[in-house]
Chain A
Amino acid sequence: MGCFFCWIVVSFQRGIAREIEAQNKWAQRVEMSYFFVLSADDALLRSPSSSRTRTSMRPTLALQVRGGGLGLLMCSHLPRKSVVPAPLSRRAVPIYRPNHSPYYVGLDRVREDPYDRVANPHGVIQLGLSDNKLCLDLIEDWMSKHFESSAIGGGDFAMYQPFDGMPEMKLAMAGFMSKVLGGTLSFDPSNVVLTAGATPAIEILCFCLADHGNAFLVPTPYYPGFDRDMTWRTGVEVIPVHCRSADSFTLSITALDQAFDQAMKKGLKVSGVLISNPSNPVGNLLSRDMLCNLLEFAREKNIHIISDEIFAGSVHGDAEFVSMLEILDLVEYDKGRVHVVYGLSKDLSVAGFRVGAIHSYNEDVLAASKKLTRFSSISSLTQRLLVPMLTDSGFINTFLGTNRDRSRETYKLFVEGLEQLGVNYLDSVAGSYCWVDMGGFMSSYSEKGELELWEKLLEVSKVNATPGSACHCAEPGWFRCCFTTILKDDIPVVMDRINKVAKLCKHAR
């Protein structure tokens, strides 16, 4: 007993591995399937206590070193594999490594065990994905009335189309964006480049605006996906600029300035600032003044601004969304340094259709982005479906209005539930989520305490909410809870479950 062992699996596997500390107990043979390693000098060892490796895996060979002996464990259903793993590129290795971010882990858990009031009432409730399911019925209804106009068949739509979007789609998107980003703005389709979702739009802009090793300033907390979109393949670095609860997590130019100076001192070249407005995960809006100050800051430092405005049409509170483009409209200079990212995943609920857009006044950015859309193009089938929908003004106006009303209603119910539990939240006005302060339930005011709470929420009460640390929040205890993926009737269930954890935590103290 008390033997020290380590597992080293010498071939590649698919799936998730967890880092472990040396254990002094024997791992279950049945859990052998969870093991694999990347390379000899990068052994990823697994914790036998892991309960999270559920994706299918096929281990081949495990070398078990125990005490002074060497054991060889062979598993069944082995594909023929080389003992020495074929090398990935160096840049692929960090991407290959399992992502332990709670954001992704939580999404996986829901995928494995999704809540359904009837079919799976004990499943994991999804509050971690900012999809909008509130108004799908409206879209379905529109489609039912317009089968002909969006029907497939006839024409050359299946042939090659401009990678940056069919002209009619660009026109339709430009029109929709002008409704959502600011009714007085009018968008020229030639300033719009369409992409397969906002994800590649962000990546394309980073490729265009920054070289490998350059940096972007990004106010925190921020959408966890930015780390992927901005850094994975571009080599760009993200410099977090922390915002505080004392300021309601609003961006401060002073903080930006300090971050910029610090970057310079470290020899990092800052290429720009990336903001999300409405903010994700906080759900607040940047004021006109702040936007002007930001533009001024960017001009002073001669850097770009990427403004991710994907939630522009998701304002549910009494506030007015102001787009960066509206500020630009008032000035005659610096138009070339601002680039807006938009998409239909949130405001129009069609995340699966992969529709994103870049708007820029910078001809060079447009030219380069257009060419880069060959790697991330919208399906012509989908464009054909969406053009008549987006250009149906009556429908779009009704949709946006109803979406706002339903979001507001659901948000109100959600926060009322939180209030009843005595849980604080930041009163937000936009987005499909609520920024909730569960710090009171943590065992310690630290990231560790937050992650423990997150794990309890996920494993014990089966609620997937995104902890602030996944969003690089400087203050522990905050969670993003999306309310547009659940039904109204499920809100009491959610509150019940949160309450369960709350009691558990109070007990523990």
Chain B
Amino acid sequence: MVGCSSDGDGSKVLSKIAMNGGHGEDSPYFEGWKAYDNNPFHPTQNPNGVIQMGLSENQLCFDLIEDWIKNNPKASICTADGVENFRNITNFQDYHGLPEFRQALAKFMARIRGNRVEFDADRIVMSSGCTGASETLMFCLADPGDAFLVPSPYYPAFNRDLRWRTGVQLIPISCHSSNNFQLTLSDLESAYSKAIESGVKVKGLILTNPSNPLGTTSDVDTLKALLEFTSRRKIHIVCDEIYSATVFAPPVFTSISEVMREVECCDPCFVHFIYSLSKDLGLPGFRVGVLYSYNDAVVSTARKMSSFGLVSSQTQLLVASMLSDGDFVERFLGESPRRLRDRHRKFVEVLGRVGIGCLKGNAGLFFWMDFRKFLEEETFEEEMRLWRVIVHDIRLNVSPGSSFGCAEPGFFRVCFANMDEVTADVALGRIGAFVTRWHGDKNLRLSFKSLKSGDENNNSLSMTSPHVMSPRSPVVIARN
């Protein structure tokens, strides 16, 4: 069927939101995706294709989920055992959600935190993934033009999710390699003061813990200091804890919810966190997000807004059943970090052997790779050129640090949990081969230097609009 643009046939006028670049898809972050999509790796069908290492997906434990579902047919309404539940839920669109769903989530989230803290099921508001939860929180806490501080590097889609429809601004607080990209109180204070002085209304701080893209957890003292900072200034603290169960090495994950009682001036009304099953359980397709707030008004308002992104009642039922299964939860929370740790270790060790350093990480589905030595100059142009080499020449889609707002060029986020062992080995082999050639081959360095954006070797990267996705490729825009 013939489509038409707003300029041609039909009404000429769309909204600013529809026509501005607020969706952020023109960022280079998405270019690599497109390169992958045009030429996706497959061990047998396309062994020279691009390996997707830019998508933060957890595929390491899907077998555990699959097994559980097979062994628990009652949880699925499309089985003989479960179909009796069909009538109860098919019309159920109450935005409170199934009580058992919220209760199971509350229990699960507490268990992830070692049961050091309890959650009130009535404070859980559902959403369409963390994406929906984060946007809803912005609508509740900030007006157009208001700002949230965010330590950078940070998840690129925040620029879209938190700002596009809400009109909220993000003020990055640059963190530096000199102290392992940890957020310091002085950086926070300085960013806050600067914003206030320039007349910006700062409504709060967003912290992703464990961090995306760094793969590290915030320590207790830092969390306390941040909470004290926000509490004293009566601004909100929003913690994105979507990777909370991906912590595979010490230190143990500490949630903002645990730190609250240790900060005397903490006002719970300013504390909120978001969560999802997309990463910890590897179920992004289910679109299960949680907004949790200690502020009753926020819970109430967000719940009403959740009508725009309710979780399918069928999915609620399944998740409620799965997460109420204590044995399964224990097994999963024991096994998943182990597999993540092994995969992470494999990558870090192999890369270490060829002289590539990574930030010491203990969580997440990715690591923060230091490729600075491969930059001829410490500029972002160089980083982009290097990135294009990695995507085009090494054929790995990794994400350049600049797309995360990193202040220092040369860092890349590399995802490791979205592939099987075979693919992981191939990826490592390719990096190793590249590094070896780099050291030995002056010509390689020269030819790399001459690469410009958009030259004939990089046609696949010069697209700016997504093409039709191949059936197996991940979506252009996904949480990662």
Residues of A participating in the B interface, judged by any CB pair closer than 8 Å: 12-15, 38, 56, 58, 79-82, 85-86, 88-92, 95-96, 99, 111, 131, 133, 136, 139-140, 143-144, 146-147, 150-154, 156-163, 167, 187-188, 190-191, 196-197, 199-200, 203, 207-212, 214, 228, 232-233, 271-272, 298, 302-304, 333-338, 345, 349-354, 361-366, 368, 371-372, 374-382, 385
Q: Shortest beta-carbon distance, B282 to chain A, in Å?
A: 7
Query: With A56-B122, A353-B312, A375-B128 given, is the CB distance from A158 to B285 under 8 Å?
Result: yes
> Could you mark each residue 116-147 of chain B with 1 if its beta carbon is under 8 Å from any beta carbon of chain A, else 0?
00000010000011011001000111111010
Complex: chain A residue closest to B80, CB-CB: A147
Complex: chain A residue closest to B67, CB-CB: A153
User: Quick check: is B79 within 8 A (CB to CB) of the other chain?
Assistant: yes
Residues of B participating in the A interface, judged by any CB pair closer than 8 Å: 1-6, 8-19, 23, 25, 55, 57, 59, 62, 65-66, 69-70, 76-80, 83, 86-87, 89-94, 122, 128-129, 131-132, 135, 139-144, 146, 160-161, 165, 203, 234, 236, 267-270, 282-288, 295-301, 304-305, 307-315, 318, 469, 471-472, 474-479
In Å, the complex CA distance between A128 and B204 comes to 41
Query: With A14-B296, A96-B300, A302-B11 given, is the CB distance from A352 to B313 under 8 Å?
Result: yes
Contacts of A209 in B (CB 8 A): 11, 14-15, 18
Contacts of A210 in B (CB 8 A): 15
B139 touches A233 (CB 8 A): yes
B3 touches A362 (CB 8 A): yes
In Å, the complex CA distance between A159 and B281 comes to 11
Contacts of B234 in A (CB 8 A): 86
In Å, the complex CA distance between A381 and B471 comes to 17
In Å, the complex CA distance between A353 and B142 comes to 31
Query: With A147-B78, A380-B285 given, is the CB distance from A136 to B90 under 8 Å?
Result: yes
B6 touches A364 (CB 8 A): yes
Q: Shortest beta-carbon distance, B220 to chain A, in Å?
A: 21
For A352, give its contact among B90, B141, B471 (CB under 8 Å): B90
Contacts of B5 in A (CB 8 A): 336, 362-364
B475 touches A161 (CB 8 A): yes
For B89, give its contact among A80, A152, A352 (CB under 8 Å): A352
For B269, give its contact among A85, A96, A99 (CB under 8 Å): A85
Which 6 pairs across A and B sit closest by C-beta, in order of nearness? A336-B10, A380-B285, A352-B313, A86-B269, A368-B18, A379-B312
Interface of A is mostly: loop
For B128, give its contact among A79, A133, A188, A377 (CB under 8 Å): A377
Contacts of A338 in B (CB 8 A): 10
A140 touches B87 (CB 8 A): yes
Q: Shortest beta-carbon distance, B262 to chain A, in Å?
A: 13
- In this complex, which of A12, A91, A377, A382 has the most chain B Cβ atoms within 10 angstroms of its Cβ? A377
Contacts of A349 in B (CB 8 A): 90-91
B129 touches A381 (CB 8 A): no
B308 touches A203 (CB 8 A): yes
Query: With A333-B9, A337-B10, A371-B25 given, is the CB distance from A136 to B86 under 8 Å?
Result: yes
Complex: chain B residue closest to A388, CB-CB: B78
A88 touches B312 (CB 8 A): no
In Å, the complex CA distance between A89 and B144 comes to 9
In Å, the complex CA distance between A86 and B269 comes to 6
For B18, give its contact among A38, A79, A162, A207 (CB under 8 Å): A207
28 pairs, A vs B, C-beta closer than 8 Å: A12-B269, A13-B296, A14-B296, A81-B268, A86-B236, A88-B140, A89-B139, A89-B143, A92-B140, A92-B141, A92-B301, A95-B301, A143-B78, A151-B76, A158-B285, A158-B286, A160-B55, A163-B475, A196-B310, A200-B309, A210-B15, A214-B15, A338-B10, A352-B312, A363-B4, A379-B286, A379-B288, A379-B312
Complex: chain B residue closest to A353, CB-CB: B312
Query: With A159-B284, A351-B90, A375-B309 given, is the CB distance from A81 to B141 under 8 Å?
Result: no
For A133, give its contact among B91, B141, B143 (CB under 8 Å): B91
Complex: chain A residue closest to B77, CB-CB: A143
Given contacts A91-B143, A304-B11, 10 further A-B contacts (CB under 8 A): A14-B296, A159-B474, A163-B478, A208-B17, A233-B305, A335-B4, A354-B310, A362-B4, A368-B18, A378-B312
For B477, give its contact among A156, A163, A188, A203 (CB under 8 Å): A163
B8 touches A207 (CB 8 A): no
Contacts of B307 in A (CB 8 A): 197, 199, 228
In Å, the complex CA distance between A427 and B345 comes to 71
In Å, the complex CA distance between A171 and B250 comes to 47
In Å, the complex CA distance between A161 and B471 comes to 9
Contacts of A146 in B (CB 8 A): 78
Query: With A336-B11, A351-B93 given, is the CB distance from A191 to B312 under 8 Å?
Result: no
Q: Shortest beta-carbon distance, A346 to chain B, in Å?
A: 10
Query: With A303-B11, A352-B93 given, is the CB distance from A88 to B297 under 8 Å?
Result: yes
In Å, the complex CA distance between A146 and B66 comes to 19
B13 touches A371 (CB 8 A): no
B93 touches A381 (CB 8 A): no
A361 touches B2 (CB 8 A): yes
In Å, the complex CA distance between A167 and B471 comes to 8
Contacts of A85 in B (CB 8 A): 269, 297
A196 touches B143 (CB 8 A): no
In Å, the complex CA distance between A265 and B144 comes to 27
Contacts of A350 in B (CB 8 A): 90-91
Contacts of B132 in A (CB 8 A): 375-376
Complex: chain B residue closest to A366, CB-CB: B3
Contacts of B285 in A (CB 8 A): 157-161, 379-381
Contacts of B89 in A (CB 8 A): 352
Q: Shortest beta-carbon distance, A464 to chain B, in Å?
A: 15
In Å, the complex CA distance between A153 and B475 comes to 21
Query: With A159-B285, A161-B285 given, is the CB distance from A208 to B10 under 8 Å?
Result: no
In Å, the complex CA distance between A302 and B12 comes to 8
Contacts of B87 in A (CB 8 A): 136, 140
Complex: chain A residue closest to B261, CB-CB: A80
B128 touches A376 (CB 8 A): yes
For B478, give its contact among A89, A160, A208, A334 (CB under 8 Å): A160
Q: Shortest beta-carbon distance, B103 to chain A, in Å?
A: 15
For A371, give its contact among B23, B140, B474 (CB under 8 Å): B23
Contacts of A58 in B (CB 8 A): 296
A364 touches B146 (CB 8 A): no
Query: With A159-B59, A207-B17, A353-B313 given, is the CB distance from A88 to B298 under 8 Å?
Result: yes
Q: Shortest beta-carbon distance, A125 to chain B, in Å?
A: 16
Complex: chain B residue closest to A157, CB-CB: B285
Complex: chain B residue closest to A210, CB-CB: B15
For A152, give its contact among B78, B94, B310 (CB under 8 Å): B78
B9 touches A199 (CB 8 A): no
Complex: chain A residue closest to B15, CB-CB: A211
Contacts of A92 in B (CB 8 A): 139-141, 297-298, 301
Query: With A90-B143, A381-B312 given, is the CB distance from A14 to B299 under 8 Å?
Result: yes
In Å, the complex CA distance between A211 and B14 comes to 8
A159 touches B57 (CB 8 A): yes
- In this complex, which of A13, A187, A209 has the most chain B Cβ atoms within 10 angstroms of its Cβ? A209
Contacts of B131 in A (CB 8 A): 374-375
In Å, the complex CA distance between A140 and B296 comes to 39
Complex: chain B residue closest to A208, CB-CB: B18
Q: Shortest beta-carbon distance, A331 to chain B, in Å?
A: 10
In Å, the complex CA distance between A26 and B287 comes to 49
Complex: chain B residue closest to A336, CB-CB: B10
B308 touches A86 (CB 8 A): no
Complex: chain A residue closest to B66, CB-CB: A153
Contacts of A362 in B (CB 8 A): 3-6, 10-11, 14
A147 touches B79 (CB 8 A): yes
